[in-house]
Amino acid sequence: MGPREILNGLRAAHGEGIQRADIPSDTRLYLFVDRGALPSICRTVFRDLDARYVISIGADDRPYSGSFMVAHDFAFDRDHVLCSILADVPAENPTVPSITPDVPAASWAEREIRDLVGIEPEGHRYLKRLVLPDGWPEGVHPLRKDFAWDTVPEDYDEDRPFRFDDPPEGCTVVPFGPFHPTLDEPAHFRLYVEGEMVRGCEYRGFMAHRGIEKLAESVLGYNDIPFMAERICGICGCVHSVAYCQAVESAVGIKPPPRAELIRTVMLEIERLHSHLLWVGLACHIVGFDTLFMQSFRIREPLMWIAERICGNRKTYGLCLVGGVRHDITPEIADELRGVLGTLTSEWRDVVKAVSRDRNIQSRTEGIGVADPALVKEMGIIGPVARAAGVAMDVRKDHPYAAYDRVHFRVITASGCDVWSRVLVRMEEVFESVGIIQQCLDHLEPGPLQSPLDDMLPVGRIGLSSVEAPRGESHHFLITGENNRPRRWRVRAPTYQNLQGVPSMIRDQRLADMTIALGSIDPCFSCTDRLETVEIATGKLQMWSPEEIATLASPAPGVSTQEVHCR
């Protein structure tokens, strides 16, 4: 089913609501719809066509079209189509019907739109602030175009304490974070415990805001942003930089030269390798097995050195520009890289052999942090967490980018749905990544590294790009703009969706297992928090009754179970 067939199907069901559609290629579909038709179209796309929810975007389009804009992005993984459903929202009445009752995974994104752009999602059952802190004045929305990037509202009360929700009866609150040995970045969980069992939690994140999206829309230029995008995340920086460049390229129709695509693929896989080795190490560290933590990091180190050799730095590669790459892989470096990969493969094989039979690790991780396929669907969970639940989704296969259409690899899945399965998936994926890099090195043909960019980039085009980061899909949405910079750039890091599944993963588990259950999604809070102006956000996790969990697993249409504000 291509984008045209999807469009025809939707036309038949919602003819009135769809104003126009744009199919720039076989893999993209942009639907412009009435805002009133959003929920029903999204329900059809999400339930009947079984698309995966990706993210919702709000944009202040008033200086250009006179209205606000809301977009809901979905991915048709089997059909290899990325779809954006866009609706205009009049400036004088910025409200939009919420899709969260139909698509529970959209809960955070809609609250974020409300905070940052000031578009009210009507029908959303839990409209507590997500991104903005409690002391931020009402009616001030930082992502609006009339809000300067360096403004701090006069009546912003930085010291106002958070409003926390009351714990349910019979439960005690155990604070977890913002500083905790197993959290490398700040996030605050208030765990409701009954005895030793976690019954629910309230989450407050968004403490590490750096205003990167606002900066990109008001200060930086197209070719400055890759270097800022790289700093969205300390681990998957190259992912964000590639995803941004691909979003621009997809919007304006630039094709990077083949050699550049292969080099991007090599660096992305080097990044995945080092991230997976790091994660296995950290997971062992969390369950108290520091020996393997040390060994993982030892095996990982030569990878960092070879990255430094290729691009001048062990982590922030500074690799991408719009339309190409900056660093070349010379034959000497390619040989060195092959050597490093050879050593890594044999050393990692020993580790995998030992660990996969280790009863201690297994008993700490088996049956812990369960995310079943139903939860994966409802919360839009992605990456190794989804693959460990038997859902064979991998953006590299489903929406091939860079050079992934030219290499062969397997999508590793497991069926346990628990942390142990995630360990197995990640350990196996290391070998696939090694294979991908070796194939890319074989394919490298001499050629240019950069496509010529002579003209100004056209204005007002939409670009979507998904990149499989080590921890799941990174999705970038972009609208090109004037003054050599995008009008709107929205980054959806994988943890944004995965974190919304954590409450149900830790529910009814022992407190001691909380750390590894959270660690198992490889949470990256600075990624998730990227966005806008100042800091902190409020957020709440609702308690789920067993009935609610049951209805979540088999959602009945129209039932308000999707009250699941799984943040």
Partner 1 sequence: MSLGAKLGEALVCLRAGRVTLPYPAAPRPTPEGFRGRPIFDADRCIGCAGCANNCPAREILVVDLCQEVRILQYLGRRCTYCGRCAEVCPEQAITMSRDFETASPRISDLRQRLEIFMGACQRCGRCFPERSPLESLKLKGYRFDDIESERWVYRSAAFLDGHPLVEDVPIDLD
CB of 240: closest distance to partner 1 in angstroms?
A: 14
The nearer residue to partner 1, 34 or 328, going by C-beta atoms, is 328
Please give the full DSSP string across 210-225, using - where no structure is assigned: --HHHHHHHT--TTTH
Best CA proximity match to 267, nearest among 475, 396, 436: 436
CB of 384: closest distance to partner 1 in angstroms?
A: 22
CB of 563: closest distance to partner 1 in angstroms?
A: 43
Q: Does 355 bind partner 1 (CB under 8 A)?
A: yes
Q: Does 554 bind partner 1 (CB under 8 A)?
A: no
Query: By the 8 A CB rule, do 143 and 115 touch?
Result: no
Residues 281-320 that bind partner 1 (CB under 8 A): 291-292, 294-295, 298, 301, 305, 308-309, 311-313, 316, 318
CB of 343: closest distance to partner 1 in angstroms?
A: 12
CB of 359: closest distance to partner 1 in angstroms?
A: 4
Number of residues counted as binding partner 1 (CB under 8 A): 34
Residues 221-240 that bind partner 1 (CB under 8 A): 223-225, 227-228, 231
The nearer residue to partner 1, 61 or 213, going by C-beta atoms, is 213
Q: Does 454 bind partner 1 (CB under 8 A)?
A: no
Q: Does 350 bind partner 1 (CB under 8 A)?
A: yes
Distance CA 516, CA 419 (A): 8
Please give the full DSSP string across 281-312, using - where no structure is assigned: HHHHHHTT-HHHHHHHHHHHHHHHHHHHHHHS
CB of 332: closest distance to partner 1 in angstroms?
A: 10
Q: Does 220 bind partner 1 (CB under 8 A)?
A: yes
Please give the full DSSP string across 135-204, using - where no structure is assigned: TSPTT--TTSTTS-TT---TT--TTPPP-PPPPPTT-EEEEE-SSBTTBSS--EEEEEEETTEEEEEEEE
Query: Which token pair is 251?
Result: 């919007």
Distance CA 509, CA 192 (A): 11
Sign of the Cα torsion 114, 120, 124, 128 reads positive
CB of 346: closest distance to partner 1 in angstroms?
A: 10
Query: Which token pair is 331?
Result: 């034959």
CB of 508: closest distance to partner 1 in angstroms?
A: 28
The torsion angle over the Cα atoms of residues 36, 37, 38 and 40, rounded to 10 degrees, is 130
What three-state secondary structure class fits 470?
coil
Region binding partner 1 by CB under 8 A among candidate stretches 155-163, 344-352, 446-454, 547-555: 344-352
Which member of 1, 91, 197, 354 binds partner 1 (CB under 8 A)? 354
Beta bridge partners of 321: 324
User: E strands along 221-347, which residues?
Assistant: 320-321, 324-325
Best CA proximity match to 119, nearest among 149, 103, 141: 141
The nearer residue to partner 1, 514 or 527, going by C-beta atoms, is 527
Q: Does 452 bind partner 1 (CB under 8 A)?
A: no
The nearer residue to partner 1, 85 or 319, going by C-beta atoms, is 319
Residues 357-376 that bind partner 1 (CB under 8 A): 357-360
Q: Which residues of 10-44 are buried (b: 16+ CB within 10 A; e: fewer)?
A: beeebeebbeebebbeebbbbbbbebebbbbbbbb
CB of 81: closest distance to partner 1 in angstroms?
A: 33
Region binding partner 1 by CB under 8 A among candidate stretches 19-27, 197-205, 343-351, 524-532: 343-351
Distance CA 516, CA 226 (A): 33
DSSP state of 47: I
Best CA proximity match to 520, nearest among 295, 355, 379, 361: 361
Which member of 80, 145, 326, 443 binds partner 1 (CB under 8 A)? 326
CB of 309: closest distance to partner 1 in angstroms?
A: 5
Residues 196-215 that bind partner 1 (CB under 8 A): none
Place of tokens 């003819």: 15
The nearer residue to partner 1, 9 or 318, going by C-beta atoms, is 318
Query: By the 8 A CB rule, do 292 and 298 touch?
Result: no
The torsion angle over the Cα atoms of residues 229, 233, 234 and 240, rounded to 10 degrees, is -50
The nearer residue to partner 1, 308 or 442, going by C-beta atoms, is 308
Distance CA 234, CA 245 (A): 18
CB of 314: closest distance to partner 1 in angstroms?
A: 10
Region binding partner 1 by CB under 8 A among candidate stretches 2-10, 179-187, 352-360, 461-469: 352-360
The nearer residue to partner 1, 305 or 415, going by C-beta atoms, is 305
CB of 350: closest distance to partner 1 in angstroms?
A: 5
H or E stretch at 462: strand 462-469
The nearer residue to partner 1, 182 or 316, going by C-beta atoms, is 316
The nearer residue to partner 1, 292 or 375, going by C-beta atoms, is 292
Q: Does 64 bind partner 1 (CB under 8 A)?
A: no
The nearer residue to partner 1, 131 or 266, going by C-beta atoms, is 266
CB of 258: closest distance to partner 1 in angstroms?
A: 22
Q: Name the residues that contact partner 1, by CB under 8 A.
A: 219-220, 223-225, 227-228, 231, 291-292, 294-295, 298, 301, 305, 308-309, 311-313, 316, 318, 326, 347, 350-351, 353-360
